Amino acid sequence: METQPAPSATATTSRQPLACGDGARPIAFGAGGAVSLDTFFSHVRGLARQLPEATHAINLCEDRYRFLVAFCAVALRGQTTLLPPSRTRAAIDDVRAQHPSSYCIGDGDHCGCTHASLAPLPHYLRMPDVLPQCDGERPHVDDDALVAIGFTSGSTGAPRPNAKTWRSFRTSTAQNLAALSGLWPDDAVVHAVATVPPQHMYGMEMSVLLPLLGNVAVHGARPFFPQDVTDALAATPEPRLLVTTPVHLRALVEAGVSLPPMAGIVTATAPLPQPLAAAAEARFGCEVREMFGSTETCVIARRRTAVEAVWTPMPGVRVVPQPDGALVHAAHLPQPVALADLVEVHADGRFELRGRQADLLEIAGKRASLGDLTRRLLAVAGVDDGVVFQLDDVDDVGVHRIAALVVAPSLAEADILQALRRSIDPVFLPRRLRCVPALPRNETGKLPRAALLRLLHGNNG
């Protein structure tokens, strides 16, 4: 494929660069050193020439830099990147069934998406070990181009697709950069290490779009264990930014590791408990800034959870309460998006979360929420992890049953139920409680409902 020409004077409003900044600025770094924006563009043009004719591509790259190259090469070819809710073979096959004219691209033989007992992925393009390069103009795409379709996690049901144009990504990224202001000097290149995969929308926003459109360089790896994160940050130039999740942040705090000086820590994908935020700030000597958003909306608000409960909307974002949730108005959204989160909006536009309508329970005239019940479960001494959720089936009086999965190696199920009786009304005690070695959290720490049900019924496959 020939590289695309530079936009004409009459097309500058609709054609936008795939990355911004001086050609010498670093966009990524790792064991092989820093990669400049000019080198990145050369890789994008080179890979774009080798992509097949298709409408959609599933980007399975483990290496974050290669994910950036593949994402931009796919966009340069006028194709759309599909972001499945996970990289399991079932999730990939399901998304490909919805988009027959698609292929998979990755940087390994399987990219963690298959198993030796399964047939190889069909229509799979493995990126060459040495990325091809090609000279040419700075790559541009149409602002209205559909560059990605992200799928919800499935934690509340079947994954749903959400289309993203380049215009919406550019607008939301400008909002995110504004929300991160103050963590590092405006004239500095911040170096980010991310524990969340780039295929997740939060990972896409904070570890792909920020390096493309901001003065940000990203580490090519995705460290997982506390020592891996520590080593990656130790090899990262200042100022340093850690992009992570509450699950990974808790692991870092509990492991007692020492991190090098940090500009800040950003977290999302699940609620961050205030004690954990405070403990992380005290231990690592930097601000922990929590982001609130969804695949449908992208990030829409932030807060410093250690010292505040209210959320500050991103510039241009307005949250309006509804009887069964909230309506999000934002410059990057083509129309308002409805969320299931119940909110209390203050006079200045900031808001507090009050749970979800679907999480509210009413039994025998009494009310509770699944979130509060889960917090009480996690407060039991000896419980390492756990979740309370509602089943689809009902009891003899038409009430949906409540179940719980618990990680508590030193406790018996009867011990946990006895402890819960001290803090939970008997009508809200889980009728089914099962101790398990680990909860089926995905790469971002979320708990897909289908996986919870399989584990509850004794099927961990």
**What pLDDT, in 10s, does the model give residues 114-164?**
444 455 677 899 999 999 999 999 999 999 999 999 988 655 556 789 999
With b for 16 or more beta-carbon neighbours within 10 A and e for fewer, the 24-40 pattern comes to ebbbbbbeeebbbbebb
Q: Is the dihedral of CA 7, 9, 14, 20 positive or negative?
A: positive
Report how far residue 59's alpha carbon sits from residue 406's, in angstroms, rounded to the nearest whole number: 34
Please state, in angstroms and rounded to a whole number, the distance separating the CA atoms of residues 174 and 216.
13
Alpha carbons within 13 angstroms on the beta-carbon side of residue 55 total 7
**Residues 6 or more apart from 375 whose CB is under 8 A from it?**
none
CA distances from 266 to 161, 242, 263, 317 (A): 25, 6, 10, 19
- Cα 271 to its chain centre, rounded Å, is 13
Mark out the alpha helices in 256-360 (DSSP H runs): 274-284
For residue 159, the model assigns a pLDDT of 76
pLDDT at position 427? 83
Phi and psi at 36, nearest 5°, equal -80, 165
pLDDT of residue 111: 54
User: For the chain, what percentages of helix, strand and coil (3-state, to nearest 5) are there?
Assistant: 25, 30, 45
pLDDT tens digits, 402-447: 899 999 999 999 999 999 998 888 888 998 999 999 999 887 778 8
Please tell me the number of Cα atoms within 13 Å of 7 on its side-chain side.
15
Give the chain's domains with CATH numbers.
23-354 (3.40.50.12780), 364-456 (3.30.300.30)
Q: Which residue has the higher pLDDT, 356 or 340?
A: 340
131 vs 341, residue with greater confidence? 131
Residue type, 393: D
Phi, psi (rounded to 5 degrees) for 246? -60, -35
User: In this predicted model, what pLDDT tens digit does every residue of 191-238 receive, in sequence order?
Assistant: 999 999 999 999 999 999 999 999 999 999 999 999 999 999 999 999
The owner of tokens 């009310």 is: 367
pLDDT tier, 2 (very low <50, low <70, confident <90, very high otherwise): very low
190-194/216-219 β-pairing:
parallel
Give the type of residue at 222. R
Structure tokens at 375: 């917090």
pLDDT confidence of 38, banded at 50, 70, 90? very high
Locus of tokens 């803090």: 423
80: closest CA among 88, 89, 72, 69? 72
Reported as half-sphere exposure (CB side, CA atoms, 13 A), residue 424 has a value of 29
pLDDT of 395 reads 61
Half-sphere exposure of residue 377, counting CA atoms within 13 Å on the CB side? 27
The two structure tokens encoding residue 250: 């808790």
> 446 versus 82: which is more confidently predicted?
82
Share of the chain above pLDDT 90, in %: 68
Closest CA to 453 of 385, 375, 391, 408: 391
Q: Which residues of 248-278 are buried (b: 16+ CB within 10 A; e: fewer)?
A: bbbbbbeeebebeebbbbbbbbbbbeeebbe
Q: What is the mean pLDDT of residues 304-310?
A: 96
Q: Which amino acid is at 37?
A: L
- Rounded to a whole number of angstroms, the CA Rg of the chain reads 23
Write out pLDDT tens, residues 244-276. Answer: 999 899 999 999 999 999 999 999 988 898 999
Cα–Cα distance for residue pair 310/379, rounded to 1 Å? 23
